Amino acid sequence: MPHYAVLGAGITGVTTAYSLLKRGHDVTIYDRQRYAGMETSFANGGQLSASNAEVWNRWATVLKGTKWLLKPDAPLSVNPKPSWHKLSWMAEFLGQIRNYEANTVATTKMAIAARAGLKEMAETAGIDFDFSPASIVHFYQTEKDFADGRRVNKLLAQGGLRRDEISPDEVRRLVPQLTGPLTGGFVTESDSTGDIHKFTYGMAEWLAEQGVRFRMGQEITDVAAKDGGVTVTTDEARRFDGVVVCAGVGSRDIAAKLGDRVNIYPVKGYSITVNLRDAQSRAAAPYVSLLDDKAKIVTSRLGEDRFRVAGTAEFNGFNRDIRADRVKPLVQWVERLFPGVSTEHCVPWAGLRPMMPNMMPKVGPGRAPGVFYNTGHGHLGWTLSAATAEALGEAVGEGPAPRSLSAAVPLAAA
């Protein structure tokens, strides 16, 4: 049976392993962390959001970003120290503005396709990940931003997504806890939420039960493709029939060793998990998932007693510091918009989004035989991973004995 190494045990790694297992391949997963889902797939915004499929490659976004650089609490921060990695990425990002519309439509299609795949995986593996078919509400405070939302809606519709315009009253009916001025919003009833870490960890546990091997706590120091096979080196070297690179922000270095250029930049984001310990906080936090278009903040209700709030983009290399000045705007946002929620018990986190300059994941073969990629999912890895894992599986092809994996638990009950 062909044996593939999957490099990385984040959301893209475990969904890739599922896709390969289903096709009848032998799989070994590597990760430098001791457990699955410990890097970017740990405490993200939780949104499974086709409605957030717009790529950022737009002159208007660049101009807005330039103004934000002067505001310390703005959603964007850039370390001014130049590096070839950052400059080359930014130059390519600008070069991709011409593909803004096509890439937004393509991402929307992928996000919609991913829904059935994620459901199949969760049901097959019987994973409880605080899934909620919550809907996502985008809301706006100015007519200008709302008009821009209408423009984006046309592209989302081209990709097949229904995102309905709603009045301020309808926003308040759906999110009665929300305070502050409103000009309107959009609701996407088909969007949902869930805990990426619970899913990733649960999928890894199930894969192990199915015979997938895990080599955790192993830093990959070298990868070499030769004579139709690939050797992966940690504290020892092992040879495989093929390899799939799913190493998030580590993928660029690994790709370079394999002769491929995958220009992923680590775009840092922050989240807070507000633990809703009292009844008043639980009632005052929304169940519907939100996207505040101006503040670029997303929220998810994870079960009864956790409210996840995420946002910000920081270009600061591989720096993983959780900076108090970047966390504070998230806490203040909760206090301003949801004053009944106690922020006494907030857990801050920062993760690095593995972002390609065109904001499209890299999925498919590399230059050398046996080398594949499923990486670079940027701000939407949770939303897209089930679709890209399926595409990757198709690119690799079927092994000699495809497996029929049957559902353990229906998702609604999970």
Ligand X SMILES: Cc1cc2nc3c(=O)[nH]c(=O)nc-3n(C[C@H](O)[C@H](O)[C@H](O)COP(=O)(O)OP(=O)(O)OC[C@H]3O[C@@H](n4cnc5c(N)ncnc54)[C@H](O)[C@@H]3O)c2cc1C
Interface residues with ligand X (CB under 6 A) are 8-13, 30-33, 38-41, 44-47, 49, 196, 219-220, 246-248, 250, 269-271, 298, 310, 351, 353-354, 375, 377-383
Q: At 364, is the secondary structure helix, strand, or coil?
A: strand
Q: Which is nearer to ligand X, 352 or 411 (CB)?
A: 352
Q: Please report how close the Cβ of residue 198 comes to ligand X at its closest, in angstroms.
A: 13
Instruction: Please name the residue that has the structure tokens 């409605």.
Output: 51
Q: Which is nearer to ligand X, 170 or 365 (CB)?
A: 365
The answer to whether the CB of 146 falls within 8 A of the CB of 184 is yes
Q: Which is nearer to ligand X, 46 or 184 (CB)?
A: 46
Kindly give, in sequence order, each residue whose CB lies less than 8 Å from that of residue 344, ignoring residues fewer than 6 positions away.
277
Gap between the Cα atoms of 18 and 393, Å rounded:
9
Q: Please report how close the Cβ of residue 143 comes to ligand X at its closest, in angstroms.
A: 27
DSSP label at residue 245: E
Q: DSSP of 319-340, one letter per residue?
A: -----HHHHHHHHHHHHHH-TT
Q: Please report how close the Cβ of residue 160 comes to ligand X at its closest, in angstroms.
A: 18
Q: Which two tokens stand for residue 29?
A: 């997963």
Q: Please report how close the Cβ of residue 389 comes to ligand X at its closest, in angstroms.
A: 10
Q: Please report how close the Cβ of residue 400 comes to ligand X at its closest, in angstroms.
A: 28
Q: Please report how close the Cβ of residue 239 comes to ligand X at its closest, in angstroms.
A: 17
Gap between the Cα atoms of 11 and 381, Å rounded:
7
Nearest to 118 by CA among 43, 7, 9, 198: 198
Q: Which is nearer to ligand X, 124 or 300 (CB)?
A: 300
Nearest to 16 by CA among 365, 386, 353, 395: 386
Angle at CA 10, nearest 5°, toward 62 and 23? 115
The answer to whether the CB of 167 falls within 8 A of the CB of 204 is no
Q: Please report how close the Cβ of residue 118 comes to ligand X at its closest, in angstroms.
A: 11
Gap between the Cα atoms of 99 and 313, Å rounded:
21
Q: Which is nearer to ligand X, 147 or 389 (CB)?
A: 389
Q: Which amino acid makes up residue 335?
A: E
Q: Which is nearer to ligand X, 142 or 221 (CB)?
A: 221
Q: Which is nearer to ligand X, 32 or 86 (CB)?
A: 32
